[in-house]
A and B are shown apart, each in its own frame.
Chain A
């Protein structure tokens, strides 16, 4: 069964194409991270899945139901944390959840849900007095009511403190273990790295990458960076001739070598060790952030990266 399936989904606002012919398929049971910089089209996509926005063309199904024509069936089975949702300032946290339980005919105990999201000491306070993080916790609780088959969360960690983010990850894992499909968007890369089975990266309305994080790293081709401290730098290192070395910079006795593959890193260390005396080694893997920058043209290398991205999708 497919949790989310979009076919050539497109949304244009006047002259801006927010989402351009998006084809996305999320299988049931996975945790999917939907990445992208601000304005990449993540929220617009989610808004179309939830029928807040009407697609210009194309179609989408959620849990097999048509996102435009069968919204009621979708809303019964999906837990949602939409972008820009505002709660009711005059109502308390418990009142919100009571309404949720009633509207979904769910069996949840409002207090138990509030306990899960760490709001047990604020159940009877009007939401107008909540901090941003507390409101976000409540919004998360609202998404969890009714044991949804699919969670669609738009920037769920915004406003949460590090502790809250850790709790949120645990919560997502627990939900996924009980069979819930999780689809969440973020521009905070560490979130996605830590919990997702697969990620999709959006840029300018199109999906530029769709894979597991490990595969993405491999495909992206940058193995990482080796920083070596030498006693003295010999005249002729000839590191550029090694396979997989993409860039070498020398700064005093510091050697900074960018490598395309893990093997290249080992080769660099062995080579330098033969011709000089190494006093310090730091090896960095490509962080997802570097990867993300590459895919979204935000990195130092800038252009030329979209071709690679296209390869990954193909």
Chain B
């Protein structure tokens, strides 16, 4: 289990990084402002607040995770740091795995800390807090964060220079976060356009699935595992409570999608990295 050495080194190194401290504090600031703001106005509902909180998470978590991990392998490869790790009994697989674990701990730790503070504020301001569901929400958000760390580490392992890793990270963010779920032209409009041309139509279920295939779509739809039916109605998520919805729109299938995003990018990155000439 020699990836432990890589994890140990990385945690020691990264905790002194001002950049990573900064983005951790940023997330804390957003969370505090959010719970303070929603909590101190009117009669707050925890679930509706958490549903709004997913929007904040979708905006910031991918950025934090990508920034925290896009240089994890490529940066060390370009500078020559990697030769320190690889001169010792650490394999290239250990490097990728160790980086994934270490950066997940850092990002996950910062997010978890922000929500501990958020939970304290919620308990203070909100009349009713379901702690179990709050923790489940945090758990899904952490999974979402780790998925993005995973994508960034995989990308970093596949590239040889800092500039390419940065280009890749920006590309990933734009593709998965802007294009897929929030752009006027997105995979669904493209599929619809093609189907129209072919003279057929696309079912709403299929479009919902396509939307959920991105980490962000899967994360938001995975919230049906946490929120009660009343929230689904209030937020207009009809499929969450539709008993006839296909399995691929169920909450558990969202976890399958997230798991795929967690595993596949690092594997592809390792596959490239493992064959690369270093320095």
Contacts and interface: CB of A to CB of B under 8 A. Distances in A.
Interface string B1-18: 010010011001100110
B16 A142 contact: no
A104 B88 contact: yes
B279 A80 contact: no
A117 B89 CA distance: 22
Contacts of B275: 54
26 contacts: A47-B279, A52-B86, A53-B277, A53-B278, A54-B277, A71-B91, A75-B89, A82-B87, A83-B279, A84-B80, A85-B80, A86-B79, A86-B80, A86-B83, A88-B13, A88-B81, A90-B13, A91-B9, A91-B13, A96-B84, A99-B12, A100-B88, A103-B2, A103-B5, A103-B89, A103-B90
A124 to B, nearest CB: 14
Interface residues of B, number: 23
B89 A104 contact: yes
B182 to A, nearest CB: 37
Given A82-B83, A95-B12, 12 more contacts: A47-B279, A72-B2, A75-B86, A75-B90, A82-B87, A83-B279, A87-B84, A88-B84, A90-B16, A91-B9, A99-B5, A102-B8
Interface residues of A, number: 30
A69 to B, nearest CB: 11
Contacts of B13: 88, 90-91
A308 interface: no
A289 to B, nearest CB: 29
A179 B2 CA distance: 28
Interface string B216-258: 0000000000000000000000000000000000000000000
Interface in A53-86: 53-54, 71-72, 75-76, 80-86
A103 B8 CA distance: 10
Contacts of A291: none
Interface in B48-89: 79-81, 83-84, 86-89
A90 B11 CA distance: 11
Nearest to A87: B84
Contacts of B80: 82, 84-86
Contact of B81 (A50, A75, A87, A142): A87
A52 B274 CA distance: 10
B5 A75 contact: no
B162 to A, nearest CB: 13
A143 B13 CA distance: 20
Contacts of B81: 85-88
Contact of B278 (A52, A72, A80): A52
Nearest to A81: B87
A49 to B, nearest CB: 11
Given A52-B278, A52-B279, A84-B80, A103 B88 contact: yes
Interface in B258-279: 275, 277-279
A91 B5 contact: no
Contacts of A76: 89
B5 to A, nearest CB: 4
A80 B87 contact: yes
Contacts of A51: 86
